[in-house]
Amino acid sequence: MRLLIVEDNARLAALTAEGLARRGLACDVARSLDEADAAIAAARYDALILDLGLPDGDGVAWLAARRREGESAPALILTARGSLEERVAGLDAGADDYVTKPAEIDEIAARIRALLRRPGPRANSLLENGPLRFDTASRKASVEGRALDLGRREGDLLEILMRQAGTVVRRSAIEDALYSFAEPVTPNAVEAIVSRLRRRLDQAGAGGMLHTIRGLGYMLRASD
Ligand code: CA
């Protein structure tokens, strides 16, 4: 279980992270929307806690854009903005809960636990790139409607590459995302998963989408 707190107030972020950690909810902190994007690209979060006034933009617009891109982690907005209009806008943008500051850590923790208990599948769980589709809730992938038979790790890898389609994803980032700290990783583990995924894509006629960028990592890109 891992949460991402997006909050530019360092003291509040630290207090929230500590309080939630003491209640069994491990948290990473992002101090800006840019940092949040980088964190989400590198790890999978079970829930997001989102401030709205951030140095590089507005949390509501960011969340709406993330939802359109397929981000499905439950999101709790934690903000000083408490008007009815602001609450409605936040929930309409894709937030699952809305809490105004100041809030007690016990209430935030209880609300997060409630969000984590909700069963999937969630809305907007579909990632699309060229002929490729991946439903992050059902974990089913297809190429032009033909189902891909993927193991768990190949599916996880495909999700990581699709979320960052068109950019190089470093091998180390893939390793971090696919394996927990406790799991032993053999030197060629990522290569083996990539080659299994590539074989499946090949069989479905989409093998050309998965590019190896020598010395760096991998990139998924629809052919022109
Ligand atoms: Ca703020």
What pLDDT digit, counting tens, does each position of 3-18 carry? Answer: 999 999 999 999 999 9
pLDDT confidence of residue 23:
84
Query: In the 8-state DSSP scheme, what is residue 121?
Result: P
* Band of pLDDT at residue 121, cut at 50, 70 and 90: very low
Average pLDDT estimate for 102-108: 95
CA distances from 89 to 10, 53, 82, 164, 183 (A): 26, 14, 11, 27, 41
| Contact of 105 with 19, CB cutoff 8 Å | yes
| Superfamily holding 2-117 | Response regulator (3.40.50.2300)
pLDDT confidence of residue 184:
76
Average pLDDT estimate for 153-179: 86
pLDDT confidence of residue 133:
93
**Ligand 1 geometric centre to CA of 98 (Å):** 15
The residue ranges of DSSP E strands in the chain, in sequence order, are 2-6, 26-30, 47-50, 53-54, 57-58, 75-79, 97-100, 126-129, 132-135, 140-143, 146-148, 169-170, 210-213, 217-220
Two structure tokens written together for 138: 């059902």
**Ligand 1 geometric centre to CA of 12 (Å):** 10
Out of 1.10.287.1120, 1.10.10.10, 1.10.150.20, 1.20.140.10, select the CATH number for domain 126-220: 1.10.10.10
Question: What value, to the nearest 5°, has the Cα angle with vertex 131 and ends 140 and 154?
Answer: 40
**Ligand 1 geometric centre to CA of 13 (Å):** 10
**Ligand 1 geometric centre to CA of 181 (Å):** 32
pTM for this model (two decimals): 0.57
2-117 and 126-220, same CATH topology: no
* Band of pLDDT at residue 203, cut at 50, 70 and 90: very high
**Ligand 1 geometric centre to CA of 57 (Å):** 10
39 contact partners, CB below 8 Å, separation of at least 6: 4, 28, 30, 45
- 1: pLDDT strictly greater than 80: no
**Ligand 1 geometric centre to CA of 183 (Å):** 37
**Ligand 1 geometric centre to CA of 223 (Å):** 41
**Ligand 1 geometric centre to CA of 139 (Å):** 35
Whats the size of the chain, residue-wise? 224
Around ion ligand 1, residues with a beta carbon closer than 5 Å are: 8, 51, 53
Q: Label the pairing between strands 75-79 and 2-6.
A: unpaired
**Ligand 1 geometric centre to CA of 75 (Å):** 16
pLDDT digits (tens, 9 = 90+) for 50-80: 999 999 999 999 999 999 988 989 999 999 9
CA distances from 153 to 15, 125, 159, 193, 220 (A): 35, 18, 10, 7, 16
Average pLDDT estimate for 133-140: 85
Q: Is the omega angle on the peptide bond into residue 187 within 30 degrees of 0, that is, cis?
A: no
Q: Where are the domains of the chain?
A: 2-117, 126-220
